Amino acid sequence: MPIGPLLNVGFSNFVVADKVIALVGSDSAPMRRLVQNLRAEERIIDCTLGRRTKSLIFTSDGKVVLSAITQETLARRLATGEVGIDEE
């Protein structure tokens, strides 16, 4: 069963592109608080490999994926359909 196009969120981790609802920067205090709350609820998927979180990827199944790649880069990958090799 095909799962559709994939979005490379860094370090050979992928998200099904059709499930992405929003790409958000992680710099604001409300986003940091949200990550803390969602981590307690076990709704976070951390794909940063210990690096600084630069963006949050909200998915249609209620999970939030943390990425060490900026939301601008992720948006470009989504728009072009680029699976890409990690740049960062």
DSSP 17-83: GGGEEEEEES-SHHHHHHHHHHHHTT-EEE-STTSPP-EEEEETTS-EEEESS-HHHHHHHHHHT--
Range of the domain at 57: 6-80
Q: What is the pLDDT of residue 87?
A: 47
Whether 23 shows a pLDDT value over 90: the answer reads yes
Whether 1 shows a pLDDT value over 80: the answer reads no
Within a domain: 87: no
Within a domain: 76: yes
Within a domain: 85: no
Domain count for the chain: 1
- What tens digit of pLDDT does each residue of 33-83 get? 999 999 999 999 999 999 999 999 999 999 999 999 999 999 999 999 886
